[in-house]
Structure 1
Amino acid sequence: MTTKSMEELEHFKRKSQHTAIALLKDPHTQKVGQSILECAERVCLTYRDQLNPAVRTYYCHQRQCPNCQERRSQKICSEMHQMFDQHPALAQQQWLYLTLTVRNCAIWNLRETLLEMTQAYQRMTKRTFFQENVIGAIRFTEVNAGQSEPNTAHPHFHCLLLVRPSMYSGNNYVSQQRWTEAWQSALQEPYAPKVHVQRISGSSEDVRRQVVGLAGYSSKARADEPDDQWLVAITQELKNLNLMQTSGLLQTMRSQLSDYNVFEDSGWPAHGQPEVSSVFAWDGYTYKNYSM
């Protein structure tokens, strides 16, 4: 593990500790909070070679854990790289990055709002313009704290779309205004929601870099630090919801990926595994080096 990697782990461990303390205050989320608090308490480095030590620790895998969410983001980026490796033609095809929003909702209405958004998205995917132009899609759900009003949430979808070239010309051209109208119609709302459309272009290397980067951005750990009440409510509202979905050709490609998992180094080394070179223990603020 490099110094930079250790610094990143410490950064997310501090954020996870902040989240855990907030969740421990409420009886409905104490179990989740305790699990997050125990996440990556000790980090073990086993040296397969001098330059690339393997990192082993216990990860809680809780959705609200910033440390584990960062690991999920890394896993998604790894999967996207695998897809480009196995299907190089993806880098020559057309991609869109679509962000779909709704008005902020009360945190205790988040689950209902997300279900309504999911239904709206499914309605939109059945429209003729979508079925004729979109070959595959990956949809990420992100929820931020509302900025203007307390106790509100800002749910939105980030969508990576693999599209046909015809979507950019002639009668099949879909402008941002048309996307906005389609999303408003699918939502069945009187207001025009904010929609952002970004065309991904450049060389094959640029396209791959942008697509992988946007997948990581869409699944990133939360950057803000909401108040305790917000975290407690959001933890309950998001319980058991699927926040990432694939469809079409991208779903087929993703299902064919190898079993590589960025969490493969989770867990404490068992007897007989490579010699442990160093062990770091969390002291509440930083990792300190201890001998095994």
Structure 2
Amino acid sequence: MSYHTKTVSRRELFVILYPYRTLPQHEKSITLKDQKKNGKEQPWKEKKIASLDYAELLHILEFNKASRVQQCGTVLDFNVDHEGYLTLAHAWFCKSRLCQICNWRRAMKHSGQTKKIVAEVIRRKPKARWLFLTLTVKNVYDGEELNQNLSEMARGFRKMVQYKKVAKNMIGFMRASEVTVNPKDHSYNQHLHVLLCVESTYFKNQDNYIKQNEWTQFWQKAMKLDYTPVVNVQAIKPKNGEKSDIASAVDETAKYPVKSTDYMTDDRDRNLQVVKDLEEGLRQKRLISYGGLLKEVHKELHMDEVDDEEADLIHTDEDEAEEVAYSIVAIWNWQKKKYLIH
């Protein structure tokens, strides 16, 4: 990879980023536009505004990290290739669990990592089959219960995959936790999304195949529940003639653990309570984990843990610039509420 840098004028940069517009003579700075080769524009502005709304709630709740969240992603340093495409090179992220900038970056990185892991597992185990499993328990009503339930679900899942009928079919898995807020009774629903890789013999006979009601019984037993939980399992079937299409399942497991719409509503008092509960509920929780062959491949590929506080959220699975033409710096403008390239 070769690197060549040069200085470009404000007008030259504007032509690269906005080829069909004319730069007004009075304009002193350029609004950031980070558009990828697939035509999708990265939502830096929207994520930053959501992060600031979250920081304001933290400030009212007197969380010490409020100012840290407020400064998240304030300065973005990009490398630019000869076609004008941007790749993030340097930035500072707060890594708070509910920060929308950080969750967006985590989701991209998690999705990219999992797709690479799955591709390698398919290469090694071409006849393996894939399942998408969703495990739930009853809703809870405060942060303490949420924290406890998430811990119990993680333990219950570890116990369930050790059951004889599950273990003998299992090649590996990727598990992710998600929490949603019920808008009617304001309760919290916790569930696990699990991408399972199983032996091809799983579907061959009743000794190996696990029916929907069996998965439910296994989960109920592992969690020691006195009620029948909601469990859903789906086989990931071939699509368009391909051996297996698991992109949608990967995206489902890689999405944000909590939706911003769950704590960014028109009800400020309710928003404050939800943030307080979620901060308590998600505290010190590992929301993403791998097992079996998927865990081995994750380690062999030297991937960092997306869920860790030390995770690199700068380098996701975005296309890296093959040849850097120059660099630009975008800074958040607090008055105009957008990123400007100066």
TM range (shorter): 0.7 to 0.9
Q: Please tell me whether the aligned partners of residues 51 and 101 of structure 2 are also in contact (alpha carbons under 8 angstroms).
A: yes
> What is the aligned residue count?
280
User: Aligned partners of 2:335, 2:164: CA distance in 1, in Å?
Assistant: 55
User: Aligned partners of 1:164, 1:238: CA distance in 2, in Å?
Assistant: 34
Q: Please tell me whether the aligned partners of residues 121 and 293 of structure 2 are also in contact (alpha carbons under 8 angstroms).
A: no
Alignment match of 1:248 (pick from 271, 292, 309): 292
Q: Alpha-carbon deviation of 1:192? A: 0.6
Matching of residues 128-277 of structure 1 within 5 Å: 128-150=164-186, 152-171=187-206, 172-202=208-238, 203-204=241-242, 206-217=244-255, 219=256, 222-226=259-263, 227-259=271-303, 263-264=314-315, 275-277=326-328
Structure 2 vs 1, CA of residues 220 and 74 (structure 1 numbering), >3 Å: closer, same or farther? farther
Moved more, 59-68 or 198-207: 198-207
Q: Deviations over 1:188-236 (max 9, x none)?
A: 112111111111111446524334333333x466242321111122112
| Alpha-carbon RMSD | 2.6
What is the TM-score normalised by the length of structure 2? 0.74
Matching of residues 32-111 of structure 1 within 5 Å: 32-55=65-88, 56-89=90-123, 92-107=127-142, 108-111=144-147
Alignment match of 2:52 (pick from 13, 17, 24): 17
Partner SS state of residue 167, structure 1:
helix
Partner SS state of residue 177, structure 2:
strand
User: Aligned partners of 2:281, 2:179: CA distance in 1, in Å?
Assistant: 11
**Structure 1 residue runs without a partner (length 5+):** 266-272
What is the TM-score normalised by the length of structure 1? 0.85
Q: Deviations over 1:130-151 (max 9, x none)?
A: 111111011111111133423x
**Structure 2 residue runs without a partner (length 5+):** 1-33, 264-270, 305-311, 317-323
User: Aligned partners of 2:335, 2:161: CA distance in 1, in Å?
Assistant: 47
Moved more, 68-77 or 195-204: 195-204
Higher relative helix content: 1
Structure 2 vs 1, CA of residues 119 and 284 (structure 1 numbering), >3 Å: closer, same or farther? farther
Q: Alpha-carbon deviation of 1:2? A: 1.1
Moved more, 162-171 or 98-107: 162-171
Q: Give percent identity, aligned residues only.
A: 21
